[in-house]
Amino acid sequence: MKSIRLLVFSGCILLGNGSCGVHSPLAHAPLPLPAGWKNAANFPVASPTRDLSRWWHRFEDPTLNRVIVDALHNSPDMASAAARIRESRARRNATAAALFPSLGSTAAAGASASQNDSGSSHSNSSYSGGLNASWEVDLFGKNHSALAAAAADLGATEENFHSVQATLASEIAIAYTNLRVAEAGLQVLHQTIKSREETSKLAAWRTQAGQADSLESSQALSSLEQARAAVPALEQTIAQTRNQLTLLSGKLPGSLDGLLASGKQTIPNPSRILAVGIPADTIRQRPDVRVAGYQLLAAAANSRAADAERFPSLNLTGSLGLNTLGSEKLFNPQSATVGIIAGISSPIFDAGRIQANIAAQTAVEAQTYQNYRTTVLTALSEVEDALIACRRTGERLEILERAAAAAREAAKLARQRYAAGVVDILTVLDTERALLGLESDLFTIRADRSTAYIQLYKALGGGWS
């Protein structure tokens, strides 16, 4: 059993120097991790990073590759996540500005008139200008803690972009797999209809020749129409899945029809060789875990900022002014005035507001830590579930392939014997129904196996680089 510390993989390295001042018992608390995967038999244990960054290439389907790459460039979800990064970066920069002095300028001009005892009037003009500066000295790290929190928020937003990218790639791959399964099922259904049409014709001929009654002909026709009735449902699934792919890609319906109709139109077959690495690799690689880690760092920084409110603050203000009665003397050194004021303010009585804020932020930090723990445990569980699914679907696929091969042979023999008058129509129909059911199950388990590998790639943190 191993353990990791949150800041080992993200803190000072990913957040920069601002985050290195974040000290929290929760942020440094170790989390136990297993040394290896429980269900990783037959999977090599090596660093999976190279295999995971663009895992969809391992299916060796150029059409799938193009659909995913286009979606990563055109999806509104990706554009929205990128905009959130820009927003978070701007907020971080605004927070950083609080560490520096602020400088402002003022300028004014005025005139006044007066009359003396002799009745003559006299006018006076005045001019003034100046610079005002203020700076809050970060004596106890409140502003630096706020900057560390903003930097952590930016890191979480960037990792959320990666999470959206990984999720989008897996959703497209699963939808693409479902599309190919539906198309393959439609092809088999058309072959079944053709076979049942031949059986129905044969039954009709036997009835006309007096070798069978009309019941056989009606049964064969009923079986044929049942197969035909399944066609619209599959065609609906195909059309709707294509629409789903265009939606995920950020395009108009029908935009991908030409691309999807070209190239390989087979169910994506995953590579059997995949390095799964160790659990610590997954924790470092998964963007959702990294998001949760940054959120904990931000909460720890906010706790420090709230705690710093208990201490005094030092504010420096300064001014450089010019005052004169004539514009020609505006820049005369004798008209300059300089002032510097230092002020210290400290909380004396606030009815418990600061302590309440500290308690609230500490509770937020505790919640964020538990959320991080949950995210880590969920990541480990998802990988184990995907490994189990990969193994069991592979086993089921081998069994169903043997069963389907036997069913094809049985259906072929039944049709031959029915044509020879050895068996009745019910035997033929039963074997055809069994074959169609096994073919359908075979496509389903192939889809399940491909989906299991897609989920494994995602669970290991793949789909971004």
Binned at pLDDT 50, 70 and 90, residue 9 comes out as very low
| CATH at 30 | 1.20.1600.10
With residue 125 as reference, give the H or E element that holds it: strand 121-137
Residue 294 lies inside a defined structural domain of this protein: yes
Residue 164: how many other CB atoms lie within 10 Å: 21
Residue 333 lies inside a defined structural domain of this protein: no
Residue 99: how many other CB atoms lie within 10 Å: 15
Over residues 353-363, the pLDDT tens digits come to 888 988 998 99
**pLDDT at 12 exceeding the cut of 50:** no
Residue 116 lies inside a defined structural domain of this protein: no
Residue 159 confidence (pLDDT)? 94
Specify whether the CB–CB gap between 455 and 386 falls below 8 A.
yes
Residue 338 confidence (pLDDT)? 56
Residues 159-188: what's their mean pLDDT?
A: 94
> What residues does 108 pair with on adjacent strands?
128
> What residues does 111 pair with on adjacent strands?
125
Residue 7 confidence (pLDDT)? 42
Residue 19 confidence (pLDDT)? 42
The reported pTM is 0.81
* Distance (Å, whole) CA 177 – CA 400: 19
**pLDDT at 285 exceeding the cut of 50:** yes
Residue 108 lies inside a defined structural domain of this protein: no
Position with higher pLDDT, 29 vs 419:
419
Cβ-count burial of 273 within 10 angstroms (0-12 exposed, 13-18 middle, 19+ buried)?
Answer: exposed
Token code pair at residue 153 = 């928020």
Residue 125 lies inside a defined structural domain of this protein: no
**pLDDT at 249 exceeding the cut of 70:** yes
Over residues 324-372, the pLDDT tens digits come to 544 445 455 554 555 566 666 667 766 788 889 889 989 999 999 999 9
Residue 184: how many other CB atoms lie within 10 Å: 19
- How much helix, strand and coil, in percent to the nearest 5, is found in the chain? 65, 15, 20
Residue 15 confidence (pLDDT)? 36
Residue 224 lies inside a defined structural domain of this protein: yes
* Distance (Å, whole) CA 445 – CA 431: 21
Residue 141 confidence (pLDDT)? 79
Residue 227 lies inside a defined structural domain of this protein: yes
Token code pair at residue 48 = 């999976």
> How many domains does the chain contain in total?
1
Structural domain that includes position 394 = 2-101+139-310+353-459
Cβ-count burial of 73 within 10 angstroms (0-12 exposed, 13-18 middle, 19+ buried)?
Answer: exposed
Residue 335 lies inside a defined structural domain of this protein: no
Residue 21 confidence (pLDDT)? 45
Percent of the chain with pLDDT strictly greater than 90: 39
